[in-house]
Each structure stands twice: as structure tokens, then as C-alpha cells.
Amino acid sequence: MLELLNQLDGFESYTNIKVLMATNRIDILDPALLRPGRIDRKIEFPNPGEEARLDILQIHSRKMNMKRGVDLKKIAESLSGCSGADIKGVCMEAGMYALRERRVHVMQEDFIMAVSKIMQKDGDQNMSLKKLWR
């Protein structure tokens, strides 16, 4: 961390060097890194809306063997506040539920259980990040 701070402080103001950083956990960054002059701007990329969540679900479930009647729109509605990675995790977990039951098809219930598991796991973390960005 010390080396990174030294490098950030060592840039000349007249150079055309831009430093970009990305994190999912801004709440655990060292305060020394966030002081003015080091990281001057924070840009939030919000979680996807309902239509985007449905698109992400369709992309990640495209190759899944789903039973007729699986309502991805309903699943997308239940994933409010989830990131794209969370949605991908829901699809993977739903597939795992079907595999554990030795079923060929993924059912609506598999998605419901997967949503419950993912939302429970990330609930506290997502809440703290939302508070931090305000």
C-alpha cells in the first residue's frame, strides 16, 4: 500500500497520466488512499434495473435446460439491488440445485431458492455499500 501511495504522490501535475481504480468494497479502502489529491473522483456504477436484470438472467440461463413455465421476469423482479455478478450467481446456484436433485431441468423453485441464498449472503454488504455512497 505504501508503494501505491508513493507512486500516486509522485505524479507531476503537468503530465497526462490518469489513474483509474475499481473496487466493489470502497468501505474497506485505506483512508490515506481516499484523501484529496490521490483519488479525486468517485464514480458509482449502480446495480442494474429490472429490464437489465432480465437481460442478464436471459444471458446466463441461455444454455440451461429449463422446465417450461420458468418465469425469468418474476425472478428479475425479486433481484432488486443485485449486481450482475449476483444475478450470474443465482443462475449458477439454480443449476446446482437441479444437479443435486439429479434433475435434467432447472425449475422455478430452483431459482427461488437460489435468489434466497444469494440475497441472504449479500444483504448486509449491499446495505453498507448503499449507505456509504450516499
Residue 104 has a pLDDT of 94
Residue 14 has a pLDDT of 63
Residue 113 has a pLDDT of 97
| Backbone phi and psi for residue 62, each to the nearest 5 degrees, phi listed first | -55, -40
Residue 91, burial from CB neighbour count under 10 angstroms (0-12, 13-18, 19+): buried
User: Which domains does the chain possess?
Assistant: 2-34 (no CATH), 50-124+128-132 (1.10.8.60)
Residue 108 has a pLDDT of 97
Residue type for position 123? G
Residue 123 has a pLDDT of 58
Query: Which residues are paired to 66 by β-bridges?
Result: 106
Among 93, 96, 56, CA closest to 72: 56
Under DSSP, is residue 125 helix (H, G, I), strand (E, B) or coil? helix
Residue 101 has a pLDDT of 96
Residue with cell 443462475: 91
Residues of the chain with pLDDT under 70: 1-2, 6-15, 122-134
pLDDT digits (tens, 9 = 90+) for 53-65: 999 999 999 999 9
Residue 109 has a pLDDT of 97
Residue 126 has a pLDDT of 52
Compute the distance between CA of residue 73 and CA of residue 11 in angstroms, rounded to an integer: 49
Average pLDDT of the chain, as a whole number: 85
What's the number of CA atoms in the CB half-sphere (13 Å) around residue 123?
7
